[in-house]
Chains A and B, each alone.
Chain A
Amino acid sequence: MAQAEQRLTVAFKEDHVEADNFRIRYWASGPSEPVGTVVMLAGMTWGLSKLRDALGQKYRVIALELPGFGESPANTRSQSVQELATTAARAVAQAAPENYTLIGTSFGANVALWQTLQSPDKVEALVLISPTAILPADGPISGTPEETAKRLFAHPEKARGLPSVDPAIVAKEQALVQRLTGGMHDAEAERRLGEIPCATLVLFGSEDQMVAPDAAGIYRERIPNSNLSFVYDAGHLIEAERPEALVNAVSDYVELRETFIVGRQTGIINP
């Protein structure tokens, strides 16, 4: 199923909204009769294009470019992750007034977490992919491209096969993330995990080196209706290393939420 989905190309239409004096771009797509709405907040660099395309087959998908990320101007005004989440929520309210499933990856997941805490009535389900709010590993990503790849990938050699990213964009995003988080554990986010009311899936690569090994369990323990998932043989950038597994798990969860644990594959070989 995942391979077939990859061959499909989904036309995303670019648009923008104004929120908190930011001009925020987003890309929207979806079938004529979507079964729901999914909002995606990509973190740094490579984003979630394969997942976005897969979900776009059934859902109205809004992929938001957070202020200061991608090709947007440097964001020097947001003072905290919470503030950025408020801005994101205001932007989403214009692009998708209906309720939605919210997906964030890496730093985008930290923003999604706060957006859910701030707008619990709007978020029907939450998917946090490689969030770094809880127990981030020591030190920001820095150094040579090889050292960066070693931190982000289970198999750093795979980084070479990815589309190149403008180093200026990477530097701009890193500076913003560092300014807003300081690479520190978000104690308030941890304290408030229990307030997340919606079904929540938290995914980590089994080789993620951007958070401490104990981080994953904290989300599962504190968020009342949550599932924790490990994607085998993937580092922090799951989509880059195990895209089919990520698409499969998240698609199932978006469709089925906490019932995604119920087996649905037939065991019949020959009827």
Chain B
Amino acid sequence: MKASYLGAMGYSQRYNFPTTWPIPPIYHDPETSVRSYQEGMEECELAEEMGFEWVSFSEHHYSGRIATGAPAVMAAAVAERCKTAKIAMLGHLLTLNNPVRVAEELGLLDNLTNGRLVIGFLRGTPNEDQTYSVNPAEGRERLLEGMDLVIKALTEPQPFSWEGRYYQFRTVSVWPRPVQQPLPPMVVATRSDDMLQYAAKHKLGLAVSFVPVEQMAKVAEKYYGWCNEAGWQPTSDQIIYRGNIYLAETDKQAEAWLEGIKRGGPVPGGIAMRPAVSRAIQAARAGEEFDLRHILAGSAQGDVVGAARGLNFIGGPDTVAKQIKGFHDQCGVGVVDLFFQQPSVSHKEVMQEIELFGREVLPQIKTF
């Protein structure tokens, strides 16, 4: 089993942020921001030094918690510091972006890293639908078409035009092509049946984020079934789990930290929106007709969009290793992508955690 470090590049003063999304730019202090990115890159470097085999990046907008709205830019910068780790784009929010542009960025990254790129496609959390004003009701279809277009753009040897439902490009001829032929490793980050089927049909890997192990096991079971129907089985590197982590020297210390967090009130997740907006997006994603009075009154679905996500891995090294093993044993996870930058954890503490993880946890999980 392998470990991946999520290069979130969180703004160091993120504990001052409101819980709502988007984070107003007024919170931004240039000096703090520059330092935060430098610290984030130091964390990636240390992670590689300590034995993490992947460093990952994720597209998120209008928030300093994961401050990589342009993840390819961040990945390129880190790739110059981390010379051996896989650079995993987990990934672009394809529904928001021009897929041809995404293909160009991916092709370039695979060249800059001499074939160390891993590609992930995802739709993103509901709040992201507000970025660039994409209709939430069309997100799934845009993602499906976008994935097809990116793959075609990275593999087709001749210039072509694309007559899609959501995209029409009369000249596509992506340069540079990926170093890894025919394609860099690709995964789909999803729990939805249609996307799982897409991944299985196209022999793409699976990435799941933040859900409990039992829930991922159900998703993985369906995915394996569809892969089997398609006549193949994924390798362990093709099953990725992204989770929040807090690692301490001992379980007791981790528990004490968690108690302190709980006493401090709700942890700012940074993706909560105004309730009516949340419900409107949820309704649109579910294909429901828009009804403002219903939305304002509060739908049966409620505001689940901004719900704070819990820690998936917490404890001392042995406990965390055991928790990770659960995902390996029950879901077949071969790469665990870890989000260390919890809201109240400083850069110094993250560095200590990375070191501890490399020293005490990694040797254990590598045997899984």
Contacts and interface: CB of A to CB of B under 8 A. Distances in A.
29 contacts: A203-B163, A206-B152, A216-B156, A217-B158, A220-B158, A221-B157, A227-B159, A228-B159, A228-B161, A229-B163, A230-B152, A230-B161, A231-B163, A232-B148, A232-B162, A232-B163, A232-B164, A232-B167, A233-B164, A242-B163, A245-B163, A245-B164, A246-B163, A248-B163, A249-B161, A261-B161, A261-B170, A261-B171, A262-B170
Nearest to B166: A232
What size tier do the contact residues of chain B reach? 10 to 19
A197 B34 CA distance: 58
Interface string B141-172: 00001001100100011111111110100110
Instruction: Identify whether the interface residues of A are mostly helix, strand, loop, or mixed.
Output: mixed
Interface in A239-266: 242, 245-246, 248-249, 260-263
Given A229-B161, A232-B163, A263-B170, 15 more contacts: A217-B156, A217-B157, A220-B158, A228-B158, A228-B160, A229-B163, A230-B160, A232-B149, A232-B164, A232-B165, A232-B167, A233-B165, A245-B165, A246-B163, A248-B163
A248 B162 CA distance: 12
7 tightest A-B CB contacts, nearest first? A261-B170, A220-B158, A232-B164, A217-B158, A245-B163, A229-B161, A228-B160
Which of A233, A246, A260 counts the most B-chain CB atoms under 10 A from its CB?
A: A233
Contact of A220 (B148, B160, B167): B160
B340 to A, nearest CB: 40
A206 B152 CA distance: 9
Given A206-B148, A263-B170, A229 B160 contact: yes
Instruction: Identify whether the interface residues of B are mostly helix, strand, loop, or mixed.
Output: mixed
Contacts of A221: 157-158
A227 B145 CA distance: 21
B145 to A, nearest CB: 6
What size tier do the contact residues of chain A reach? 20 to 34
A216 B165 contact: no
Interface string A206-241: 100000000011001100000111111100000000
Contacts of B152: 206, 230
Contacts of A227: 159-161, 170
Interface of B: 145, 148-149, 152, 156-165, 167, 170-171
B163 A220 contact: no
Contact of A260 (B145, B156, B170): B170
Nearest to A207: B148
A258 to B, nearest CB: 10
A232 B146 CA distance: 10
B121 to A, nearest CB: 16
A217 to B, nearest CB: 4
Interface string A182-222: 00000000000000000000010010000000001100110
A248 B158 CA distance: 22
Contacts of A228: 158-161
Contacts of B163: 203, 229-232, 242, 245-246, 248-249
Given A248-B163, A249-B163, A261-B171, A233 B157 contact: no
Contact of A232 (B145, B157, B171): B145
Contacts of B157: 217, 221
Contacts of A231: 163
B158 A229 contact: no
Nearest to B160: A228
A228 B159 CA distance: 7
A35 B180 CA distance: 49
Contacts of A249: 161, 163
B157 to A, nearest CB: 5
Contacts of A217: 156-158
A248 B161 CA distance: 13
Nearest to A250: B163
A220 B172 CA distance: 13
A245 B164 CA distance: 7
Nearest to B169: A261
B160 A216 contact: yes
A249 B158 CA distance: 18
Interface string A151-162: 000000000000
Contacts of A260: 170
A229 B156 contact: no
Interface string A12-26: 000000000000000
